[in-house]
Structure 1
């Protein structure tokens, strides 16, 4: 079996520190970085070139897909922000921080909070994407979330007062829930979940209006339909009497169309080897489950915004018969964008880094989540993490949300982030730093406004680079 995942925090058997000492850590962090100082964003005159940073990220990606990445990022400031986690990491990494460490999502924008299925087949609300996960200062995730809400609210045409209320609501929900975790037992913190049917408990005392309740119920019902079976019907077809992944290039390109026969056979062999070896990262009973499926087809998939161009494969496997499918996604994992500023991962395999971070932060994870390393037909060694392609996932649509809906969604995201941070960080120290007043809320709302301005400037810089022919751009096919 693999080396055990390592987590931030004290080593097992280390000296126990009482709550007063841990609270003192949070108060000491206030002296290092006062909460009011969290409002500042001062990039300086010699700030890095954001386009150059994006080009550096693209250098090792699939060349023909890189223009799609830039095309998607150019569609709006919010889509640019989704692809610019590395840019924000560079800005945050050069500024003072609290030193209050927790496992970070690394890309905690609002669309990375979703409805997901637990192994017990309940619908829960949680963080979904962990490509950039790494231990680091808690406020980096909170600033990433706060800024995404500011940008989304601008896209909805909301005035400054409403935008500020939305951002402050998210930070307030984070702060208030962290205070609850600070008073809970260690196991109670770990067992905490955000059950979708109980999300109202995370909202203010006043009840949402009827429209909000109706839309929430509709979203929950829709999430429950987004199953493997639905994905199977949508993504597969029958070819020569056999079930195969449907072709939809460049978004989904089956292996049979991607390469000449000799290279295809070699790559198919390497992908099958990846799957066989990946099962070693699963527990014994889950390896047994996986062994009951047979791989029948594979395809390259274009994913996300910031991830476009990374190597991503969809694997179709069949159990008892064609009506018993399993769809897996094997996604390339490189070093986290936080690594230059937070330190390298303790895991040698970047796929293992992603899996370890996800298991730390999520309250209910994918039972088939694992990792592996493979040498591709280009001779390059690459790390991957593997998970189910779709399992009861519900995705927010901020561009259609009313101001009330966006405000409530912001609070749920803030509260869920607090739960994720409390699992690996010290909720007592974090609560002591955040405090009982609104100082942190006000500071991060001010930061979010300033960084949203910078994001708009960087978005325009990419547009200028595209117009000048510096970066290749292709319209997003979907």
Structure 2
């Protein structure tokens, strides 16, 4: 530890001498000082560097087997280690990041080659089937089969295994874990304002910051290819996304912890960031889409689509195979047993809410519940929708999603939380600027873990199929911004990461190269799935 800190301080002293040698007019404004809280937490960066071999010059790539230079797993619930603070000011934290370039050159992130001895595509996909509802698995594979992009969205576990064998600096943040472009979008805050941010945290876990960036940039290349956009434009989108991440992170590094915590990307921010030539047209389209989605997502508007009177009772409409009540005909438990389990789970969930949120929840009663298939990666997991009603029959729809081990845990270490639902809720609260008032978690009678949130709380999903090069390029920059904000809010390492990234485009260009190479890999993996389907090894259901 003393070696790296000593090196950083020598670099800082040299930089200070150079600044004092300049004329007053030529001096730059010093980097923003950091708070005592950030100084105290900065030690975790140096602890990570030491444990990863940065001090001795060993490779800092993270692997899965606990060998030298790899991250070891912590026991679930274990406290983070605490050391005396090195009390480094911001200029030295920036220098610490810069020093990492000697051990992990920024250009090295652009390389990609799969370790075929450690990664078996079909084996990893099948391993993720464990514990899922069997008769829904063909739907999952049918959705993944549609294109390399949909395959990518459903194979977060596969990329996690790949990322574990890529170089990293050893600096960790709260990671999204499944950071592709369709997991960004608009959503309503408790104050009913619309923000742009990450909106899926099923796989969230503390992990190397590079992993989120790499998954995000590769998703833009695949999305661009799915739209028939040029290869050069696809690569430029990845570079632009990484550049936005780098520049925005540097901005957050100069803010106080409270400024970062309260920061958010509003509709006004989106409009202001849009190209001047198309800003007016973009604002009109955006606000029209917002109004439509907000109206569609309200419980009052969702009610006639999802529920109605059946035999004199209010019931959620069955729309198999995507929405259905369990029963003997579906190979599940009886309707009565299902409701009993839901009621028990609601009681457990209620205890995870704060007192004021419990009071709000208590104003609604359970009316009905059904199984609902969602997404691509989540298909087959146990997910439900609950219809609640107030005394005046005002509807509230809650979504209960199964929470499983994060796909990152085999490679980044176990979660500090024994309950996967709590892992999701805490990770979302750390990364998002505002979270759903009904967020909580529960354990079912059979020992399954869940988290709870509102269904369709004014969520606005990006429409990739309607994006041209200009719109997708702009969205790439916005996602880079959103990821930088989430990483800065969830940790104290933005200064070190910023020092590493610097002001040049070395890392940005490396991400362009990685994104193209990994998109090629995803296309090969998609072809592997297609071959398995043709050979009868995997059953699929193609939805009409």
TM-score normalised to structure 2 length: 0.82
| CA shift in 2, pair 1:13/1:325, >3 Å | farther
Choose which of 329, 350, 360 in structure 1 pairs with 2:399.
329
Quote how far apart the aligned CAs of 1:383 are: 0.5
Alignment of 1:9-48 (within 5 A): 16-48=87-119
| CA shift in 2, pair 1:177/1:260, >3 Å | closer
1:392 pairs with 2:392: no
Distance in 1 (alpha carbons) for counterparts of 2:501 and 2:262: 23
Quote how far apart the aligned CAs of 1:258 are: 6.2
Residue of structure 2 in register with 1:86 after alignment: 157
Distance in 2 (alpha carbons) for counterparts of 1:231 and 1:8: 43
Quote how far apart the aligned CAs of 1:264 are: 2.6
CA RMSD, Structure 1 to Structure 2 (Å): 2.2
Higher-Rg structure is 2
Distance in 2 (alpha carbons) for counterparts of 1:41 and 1:260: 44
Note the residue ranges of structure 1 that are not aligned, 5 or more in a row. Answer: none
Alignment of 1:173-252 (within 5 A): 173-203=244-274, 206-208=276-278, 210-225=280-295, 226-252=297-323
The C-alpha deviation readout for 1:56-83, integer Å capped at 9, x for no partner, is 1112210000011000000011100000
Distance in 2 (alpha carbons) for counterparts of 1:337 and 1:145: 16
Flag the structure with more relative contact order, 1 or 2, with Cα contacts below 8 A and sequence separation at least 6. 1
1:362 pairs with 2:429: no
Residue of structure 1 in register with 2:443 after alignment: 373
Distance in 2 (alpha carbons) for counterparts of 1:80 and 1:396: 18
| CA shift in 2, pair 1:32/1:271, >3 Å | farther
The C-alpha deviation readout for 1:186-243, integer Å capped at 9, x for no partner, is 1101110111232134456x44355433322222222322222222221111112322
Residue of structure 2 in register with 1:470 after alignment: 537
Quote how far apart the aligned CAs of 1:126 are: 1.0
Note the residue ranges of structure 2 that are not aligned, 5 or more in a row. Answer: 1-75
Distance in 2 (alpha carbons) for counterparts of 1:278 and 1:457: 42
8 Å contact kept, 1:8–1:424:
no
8 Å contact kept, 1:196–1:220:
no
Distance in 1 (alpha carbons) for counterparts of 2:193 and 2:274: 20
1:349 pairs with 2:424: no
The C-alpha deviation readout for 1:347-384, integer Å capped at 9, x for no partner, is 000011111110100001001000011223xxxx1100
Residue of structure 1 in register with 2:72 after alignment: none
Distance in 2 (alpha carbons) for counterparts of 1:29 and 1:22: 11
8 Å contact kept, 1:8–1:102:
no
Residue of structure 1 in register with 2:527 after alignment: 460
Distance in 1 (alpha carbons) for counterparts of 2:487 and 2:79: 11
| CA shift in 2, pair 1:227/1:285, >3 Å | same
| CA shift in 2, pair 1:428/1:464, >3 Å | same
The C-alpha deviation readout for 1:282-332, integer Å capped at 9, x for no partner, is 11100110011000100001010011000001111001233x111001111
8 Å contact kept, 1:93–1:341:
yes
TM-score normalised to structure 1 length: 0.93
Quote how far apart the aligned CAs of 1:29 are: 3.0
The C-alpha deviation readout for 1:77-134, integer Å capped at 9, x for no partner, is 1100000101100000122211111101101100000100001111111111111100
